[in-house]
Amino acid sequence: MPTETFKREKKDSLNEISTIEKTVLSDYKYGFVTDIESDEAPVGINEDIVRFISAKKNEPEWMLDWRLKAYRQWCKMSGDEPKWANLKYPPINYQDIIYYSAPKQKIKPNNLDEIDPELRKTFEKLGISLNEQKRLTGVAVDAVIDSISIGTSFKEQLAELGIIFCSMSEAIQEHPDLVRKYLSTVVPVTDNYFAALNAAVFSDGSFCYIPKGVRCPMELSTYFRINAENTGQFERTLIVADEGSYVSYLEGCTAPMRDENQLHAAVVELIAMENAEIKYSTVQNWYPGDKNGVGGIYNFVTKRGICQGANSKISWTQVETGSAITWKYPSVILKGDNSVGEFYSVAVTNNYQQADTGTKMQHLGKNTKSRIVSKGISAGFSNNSYRGLVHVSRKANNARNFSQCDSLLLGDKCGAHTFPYIEVRNKSALVEHEATTSKIGEDQIFYCNQRGIDTETAVALIVNGFAKEVMNQLPMEFAVEAQKLLAISLEGSVG
């Protein structure tokens, strides 16, 4: 009301903080903890822990061997933790982390109705209903809490079309041939430090196989939730779209507010055969830490897809608002002729968050096309970097790339950086790169204010306008959610 507003303004000027800065101070809405007993591995990592995880999941021997190979590889890589990113954080002590934690459920649920009510409540609080009748029609969900999947909806309906959508653990048991055939073919165990660690200790994730010629009739989604203390989450997702198939997949993630940093190191592999299309969307909202940069998730993720067959297409769309540290480069290997790779990204950093994110487009086949649209939004004391590589190999005739990297700054204590790398080995390539940096001005805010729009709403309008091109790529139901999330991430303590 009028008088209150006036008081608020007076206070603002006393504190000498600009309205924009006030507006970006945010509150995290998903920071609650579910009180449920969990079944945990002893703290730290060694071969026994790897065996422990494998045994917990009752894995076949080939899987254990694969893990152990990865673990030994990771040990050899010690000291190879990537240092090239524009990120600053204290060294991670890998012996302080609990690598396996599963919420204890009294009975093993045979179907979704038997899930522990506490866990069901957790997901309902997050806006994810595991009750199929109540779910948004056309969305199947796999819910992962800490190290394990607790349930997958619409499984039977999908199975009728031959679509496999289940947790990774289940896939290893039920579809070992498929898993063995494709696992780590896109992201090799030795790919990088975090990928090797993931291969050694990953505990769950989603598996998805779309058979030849099938268009998946609903959005598939996985919801990741970290709950237990001192644990890391290491999930692994594998999606295979066979010839002429199509799938749209979405993942979402949140975590409780805790003062210590928690590690999340995931691997996602996508494989698109001839004429297949995979659309992968992420809304990442891990706990970002508090206003002083205490706590938050360290998010080190390797995501890569391969357009294996001709005329295939892989499209990554990400809305990154959470995590204290984001290290993530969803990439596409354009192997098939005429294949298409896309990367659409909105990354928001606020307070003391740091993000170093972008993509790699590797053009191997002829007439391959890639498109990169990156929108970085920095506020508070945060740092937001785009890092991208466009590589055109010798044989990739007529490769095309268009990249656009825009940065928006809120306030004057944050940073935006762009590191675009271009390697072209074929003269017929056409590579374009555009970049802009702009600032939300007090003038823009005042213009909105003068039309009756308060500062918080004004910032949301401006930010959503800036990110529109990327938001338009999201599936309808999630675009609305993502818009709200952007606003919340930058929402102030004002009002």
Partner 1 sequence: MLNIHNLQAGIEGRKILKGINLEIKAGEVHAIMGPNGSGKSTLASVLAGKQIYEVTDGSVDFLGKNLLELSPEARAAEGLFLAFQYPIEIPGLSTTNFVKTAINEVRKYRGQEPLDAVSFLKMMKQKMALMNIDQSLLSRPLNEGFSGGEKKRNEIFQMAMLEPKLAILDETDSGLDIDAIRIVSNGVNKLRNKDNAVLVVTHYQRLLDYIVPDFVHVLYNGRIVKSGTKELALELEERGYDFIKHEVSVEEEV
| Interacting residues toward partner 1 by CB under 8 A | 2-3, 5-6, 8-9, 13, 19, 438, 441-444, 446-455, 457, 461-462, 464-469
Please, what is the minimum distance in Å from the beta carbon of residue 490 to partner 1? 15
- The residue (of 398 and 464) whose beta carbon lies closer to partner 1 is 464
Residue 67 or 375 with smaller CB distance to partner 1: 375
* Min CB(450)–partner 1 separation in Å: 5
Cβ nearer to partner 1, comparing 58 with 436: 436
| Residue (185 or 438) nearer to partner 1, CB | 438
Instruction: Return d(Cα 20, Cα 406) in angstroms, integer.
Output: 20
Distances (CA, A) of 84 to 88, 134, 135, 298, 419: 10, 46, 43, 16, 11
158 vs 448 by CB, closer to partner 1: 448
Any idea what DSSP says for residue 205? -
Q: How far is the CB of 453 from partner 1 (least distance, A)?
A: 5
128-136 long-range Cβ contacts below 8 angstroms, 24+ apart: 128/223, 128/252, 136/477
- The distance of closest approach from Cβ of residue 14 to partner 1 in the complex, given in angstroms and rounded to an integer, is 13
Residue 99, helix vs strand vs coil:
coil
Residue 33 or 480: the one with the smaller Cβ distance to partner 1 is 480
Query: Nearer Cβ to partner 1, position 157 or 464?
Result: 464
**Least separation in angstroms between CB 307 and partner 1:** 30
Residue 27: C-alpha distances to residues 123, 125, 152, 351 (Å): 20, 16, 30, 11
CA gap 5, 8 in Å, rounded: 5
Which residues, at least 6 apart from 50, have a Cβ–Cβ distance to it below 8 Å? 64, 67, 68, 71, 200, 201
Q: Which of 5/15 has CB closer to partner 1?
A: 5
- For residues 172 and 462, which CB has a smaller minimum distance to partner 1 in the complex? 462
Amino acid at 409: L
Residue number with CB closer to partner 1 (132 or 454): 454
The CB-of-374 to partner 1 minimum distance in angstroms stands at 15
Q: Are strands 340-349 and 383-392 parallel, antiparallel or unpaired?
A: unpaired
Can you tell me which residue has the tokens 């494989």?
271
Q: How far is the CB of 345 from partner 1 (least distance, A)?
A: 15
Question: In sequence order, what DSSP letters do the residues of 385-453 get, joined into one string?
Answer: EEEEEEEE-TT-TT-EEEEEEEEEE-SSS-EEEEEEEEEE--TT-EEEEEEEEEE--HHHHHHHHHTT-
Taking the complex as a whole, the smallest distance from the CB of residue 212 to partner 1 amounts, in Å, to: 40
Residues 6+ apart with CB under 8 A from 290: 257, 259, 296, 351
CB 409 to partner 1: min, Å? 14
Give Cα separations from 249 to 216, 237, 347, 370, 478 (angstroms): 10, 11, 19, 20, 11
Which helix (H) or strand (E) is 224 found in, with range? strand 219-225
CA quadruple 40, 44, 48, 53: dihedral sign: positive
Closest approach of partner 1 to the CB of residue 458, in Å: 9
Place of tokens 């940073």: 415
Cβ distance to partner 1 smaller for residue 234 or 466: 466
Nearest distance from C-beta of residue 464 to partner 1, angstroms = 7
Q: Helix crossing, 442-450 with 455-471: angle to 10°? A: 110
